């Protein structure tokens, strides 16, 4: 009975982590198909020409580092493309792997010392993306852009509880991700993009008192900043 309950809570935790990303993708897909009904054109001019607006949405994966260890992130993005030259939209990512702190002893506000043997690192963020597209051919394009997001970094016990209020440490963070990407058409309305970027994280650095003294900036910004590679699978009208 206990084993069944643990498995149930594990499934619920995974669903809870993925739900915001799924809702974002569904909302952007709804917008995408709504745009397709209007033949991807608007009625107002831009420098004397008709403005063409199309939409895109899809899931993504990226690999970077957390505390000098490889880290996998899952997420999604979506938005609009204006005249095949500019894009803007929203994105979200969350850490999909498991990074543990090992043994950590903390002195709480009531001066009681508590030792944790296996704290899990949680990291996620969501925000806006925008950039410029250089259309080389119908099947290939280059693009450069930036993501700006808000998120959180926290440490929690490796149990099956879902309550974020029980996090041991919880820091709000500001994230900037400049990125260059190459896009390849797989099918008329499906494109994959390969990207190379750098994640800049600011906002961590709470002073944590331990039973052995004081650890400044734990966790710190450099533990979550660094280069990344990404792959996305996007659905949309990219050539109208």
- Per run of 10 residues, the mean pLDDT along the chain (length 240 residues) is 45 49 54 48 51 91 92 94 93 88 66 75 94 87 96 77 64 94 92 96 70 58 94 84
DSSP of 129-173? EEEEEEE-SSSEEEEEEEEEEEEEEEEEESSS---GGG-SEEEEE
Strands (E), the chain: 41-46, 49-66, 69-82, 86-95, 104-107, 113-116, 119-135, 140-157, 169-187, 190-202, 208-210, 213-215, 226-236
Other Cβ atoms less than 10 A from the Cβ of 23: the count is 12
CATH number of the domain that residue 229 is part of: 2.40.160.20
pLDDT in the model for residue 101:
72
Q: Are 203 and 174 in contact (CB under 8 A)?
A: yes
For the chain, what is the domain count?
1
Is residue 46 assigned to a domain?
Answer: no
pLDDT in the model for residue 118:
75
pLDDT in the model for residue 132:
96
Is residue 175 assigned to a domain?
Answer: yes
pLDDT in the model for residue 150:
96
pLDDT in the model for residue 239:
65
Residue from 127, 17, 146, 122 nearest 66 by CA? 122
Is residue 47 assigned to a domain?
Answer: no
pLDDT in the model for residue 107:
63
What is the domain range of residue 99?
A: 2-41+52-236
pLDDT in the model for residue 165:
57
pLDDT in the model for residue 2:
39
């Amino acid at each position: 009975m206990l084993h069944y309950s643990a498995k149930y809570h594990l499934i619920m935790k995974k669903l809870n982590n993925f739900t915001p990303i799924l809702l974002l993708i569904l909302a952007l897909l709804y917008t995408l198909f709504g745009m397709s009904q209007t033949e991807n054109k608007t009625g107002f001019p831009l420098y004397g020409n008709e403005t063409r607006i199309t939409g895109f949405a899809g899931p993504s994966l990226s690999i970077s580092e957390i505390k000098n260890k490889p880290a996998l992130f899952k997420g999604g993005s979506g938005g609009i493309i204006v005249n095949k030259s500019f894009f803007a939209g929203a994105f979200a990512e969350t850490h999909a792997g498991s990074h543990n702190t090992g043994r950590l002893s903390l002195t709480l506000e009531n001066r009681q010392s508590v030792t944790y043997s296996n704290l899990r690192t949680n990291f996620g963020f969501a925000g806006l993306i925008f950039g410029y597209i250089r259309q080389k051919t119908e099947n290939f394009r280059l693009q450069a852009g930036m993501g700006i997001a808000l998120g959180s970094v926290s440490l929690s016990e490796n149990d099956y509880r879902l309550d974020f209020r029980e996090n041991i440490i919880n820091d709000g963070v500001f994230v900037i991700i400049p990125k260059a990407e190459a896009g390849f058409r797989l099918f008329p309305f499906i494109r994959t993009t390969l990207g190379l970027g750098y994640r800049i994280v600011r906002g961590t650095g709470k002073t944590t008192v331990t039973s052995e003294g004081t650890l400044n900036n734990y966790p710190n910004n450099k533990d979550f900043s660094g280069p990344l590679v990404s792959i996305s699978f996007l659905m949309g009208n990219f050539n109208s």
